[in-house]
Amino acid sequence: MSSTKMPAGSTTANTVFWYIPNQIGYMRVLTAVISFFTMHNYPVFTGLVYGISCLLDALDGTMARKYNQVSTLGAVLDMVTDRSTTSGLTCFLCYKFPSWCVIFQLLLALDISSHYMHMYATLSSGTTSHKNVSNESSKLLHLYYTRRDVLFTICFFNESFYGGLYLFAYDNYHTFGKWVALISLPGFIFKQITNVIQLQRAALILATSDATKANERAKSN
């Protein structure tokens, strides 16, 4: 049986795996894992590594557009890494602040569920990216996802709020952590509002799709 050769210059799965933005994504995974191991005993080093991960998050999208290497794998990897990194830090905050554990659990549940449903709803509806949100669908989400400066700023403050709480848990950085958290609080609140809105929007998209399919089945019967 003769094998079918790919045309010269064709894009393969292996090519996509090694897209420049995806390589940046793998570096983000590595920095996240390192931060998990150092989080308990080395707050300054952990903050540095965590900060590098956040900066790389801003870089991968720029590289994807510059080199025309936008991919679904990259989009999913980016979202999963974001959620996993934040989840790891939130779990540690539950350990450091047990009396706030339920609050952190609720925030974590909202973060994961809203982003998963948002990505699933947009991709299943035929949209090429979860960041393609029309102004008519949601003005706030449109602003959040289409303005890279807004997206970066809000995500930065969201992560720095958790980072401030993390430093607040250590006596040597108590005051600094408190001020970082307070300064970041407005951006953190904005991010939680977008989480609620995108969860509601995703549910509406999925319910509308279900209703359309149900009506089509009813017509065919």
Residues annotated as part of the active site: 82
- Examine residue 34 and state whether it is found in any structural domain, yes or no: yes
The reported pLDDT for the residue numbered 2 is: 45
219 domain residue, yes or no: no
Q: Is 9 left (phi over 0), alpha (psi -120 to 50) or beta?
A: left
Q: Is residue 5 assigned to a domain?
A: no
Which tens digits make up the pLDDT trace of 99-115? 999 999 999 999 999 98
The boundaries of the domain holding residue 40 are 15-209
Split into its structural domains, the chain has a count of: 1
The predicted structure's pLDDT at residue 120: 87
Segments of the chain with pLDDT less than 70:
1-9, 127-132, 135-137
What separation in angstroms does the CA of 18 have from each of 58, 130, 210? 18, 22, 37
Q: What's residue 3's pLDDT?
A: 47
Rounded Cα distance between 53 and 15, Å, is 24
- Is 2 a domain residue? no
Query: What CATH number is given to the structural domain containing 112?
Result: 1.20.120
pLDDT of res. 1: 45
Distance (Å, rounded) from C-alpha 111 to C-alpha 127?
Answer: 21
Separation between Cα atoms, residue 122 and residue 1, nearest integer Å: 41
In a domain, 111, yes or no: yes
Region of 28 (left: φ > 0; alpha: ψ -120 to 50; beta: rest) is alpha
Question: Do 157 and 186 contact (CB within 8 A), yes or no?
Answer: yes
